[in-house]
Amino acid sequence: MVWRKLGSSNFSSCPNGSSQWIWDVFGECAWDGWDKASVGLGLISILCFAASTLPQYIKACKMGNMDQALSLWFLLGWIGGDSCNLIGSFLADQLPLQTYTAVYYVLADVLMLSLYFHYKFKKRPSLWSAPINSVLLFTLGVACTAPLLSSAGLVAAPREVFRGRMLLSVEPGNKPFTQQEIIGFVIGSVSSMLYLLSRLPQIRTNFLRKSTQGISYSLFALVMLGNTLYGLSVLLKNPEVGQSEGSYVLHHLPWLVGSLGVLLLDTIVSFRFLIYRDAATSSERQPLLPS
């Protein structure tokens, strides 16, 4: 894989002006402002994703109604999308920051689902609690071991590691998909569809409840910001040598659709927050007794 570190000596393959720390951490050359901006936005997007779930955890512990506020299908679609995103990122040779983000999100989804079922079974004990907890633990284990297994099974090939927009380089063309990348591309496409479909149950739940009580708006606001920065970080990255920008975008298309495509649906959820907040405020201001 292009972005995997092939050894500290290979930093000499990068052009002058490349960032040493980016090579040491991610194993890729970042020689111009586009590459450095891509890494910077990617790191900020991870911080947004990491911070997005914390307010929801706090609110769930305070109110104890997470099983009513969040749709189960929304959470299942989310963890399904993130799991496919993680697998597809490894198979389709995606950028390292994309993979790191996917790993974190699977772990965050498992914790979110654990809280959901905790409050649900706390109110209504069920025989399904033990099997569900086992599935969540299994998913957690897969998310933790997948990066280790993937890196251990890959053999670094002697290929060019430098990416850049160079006017005097070879004529850019289409980079062919390998069989592994095709599988990753398909799994990534499934991931983007799950992301898009996961929002619909939550929009329906908010509409039926006529309330967003128990949901932290910071969850969606920071996810929207993180997805925007995530998409920009992918778009700003320089293609590989000899690869056209159109071919580069095509190879990352499912992940771009999954990040930028959900912004419209998350905007609908944001409008619902404003509508129901105004309705709750007006109802609180109404007098208890008619004048």
pLDDT in tens, 196-215: 888 888 888 888 888 888 88
Torsion sign over Cα 29, 32, 34, 39: positive
Residue 171's CB: how many other CB atoms inside 10 A? 6
- Predicted pLDDT of residue 247: 86
On whether residue 155 sits in a domain, the answer given is no
pLDDT, the chain, mean:
74
Let me know: does 219 contact 109? Beta carbons within 8 Å. Answer: no
Confidence of residue 136 (pLDDT cuts 50, 70, 90): low
- Predicted pLDDT of residue 132: 53
191: amino acid identity, one letter: S
Torsion sign over Cα 207, 211, 214, 220: positive
Give the span between the Cα atoms of 31 and 20, in whole angstroms. Answer: 10
On whether residue 9 sits in a domain, the answer given is no
Confidence of residue 44 (pLDDT cuts 50, 70, 90): very high
Q: Which range is least confidently modeled, 23-32, 37-46, 136-145, 275-284?
A: 136-145
| pLDDT higher than threshold 80 for residue 128 | no
On whether residue 205 sits in a domain, the answer given is yes
Domain that holds residue 92: 30-146+179-281
- Predicted pLDDT of residue 88: 86
Give the span between the Cα atoms of 25 and 8, in whole angstroms. Answer: 11
**Residue scoring higher pLDDT (100 or 51):** 51
Q: What is the DSSP letter of 240?
A: B
Let me know: does 26 contact 173? Beta carbons within 8 Å. Answer: no
Confidence of residue 245 (pLDDT cuts 50, 70, 90): confident
Region of 241 (left: φ > 0; alpha: ψ -120 to 50; beta: rest) is beta
265: amino acid identity, one letter: L
Looking at mean pLDDT, say which of 1-15, 97-111, 164-178, 244-258 comes out highest. 244-258
On whether residue 65 sits in a domain, the answer given is yes
145: amino acid identity, one letter: T
| pLDDT higher than threshold 60 for residue 151 | no
On whether residue 188 sits in a domain, the answer given is yes
Q: What is the average per-residue pLDDT within 266-285?
A: 70
- Per cent of the chain over pLDDT 90 is 5
Q: What is the average per-residue pLDDT within 217-236?
A: 90
Give the pTM. Answer: 0.70
Read off φ and ψ for residue 243, nearest 5 degrees.
-100, 130
Give the span between the Cα atoms of 24 and 256, in whole angstroms. Answer: 26
On whether residue 288 sits in a domain, the answer given is no
Residue 200's CB: how many other CB atoms inside 10 A? 15
90, two tokens? 């490894």
Give the span between the Cα atoms of 266 and 32, in whole angstroms. Answer: 33
On whether residue 6 sits in a domain, the answer given is no
On whether residue 214 sits in a domain, the answer given is yes
Confidence of residue 137 (pLDDT cuts 50, 70, 90): low
Residue of 34, 180, 198 lying closest to 94 (CA atoms): 180
Domain count, the chain: 1
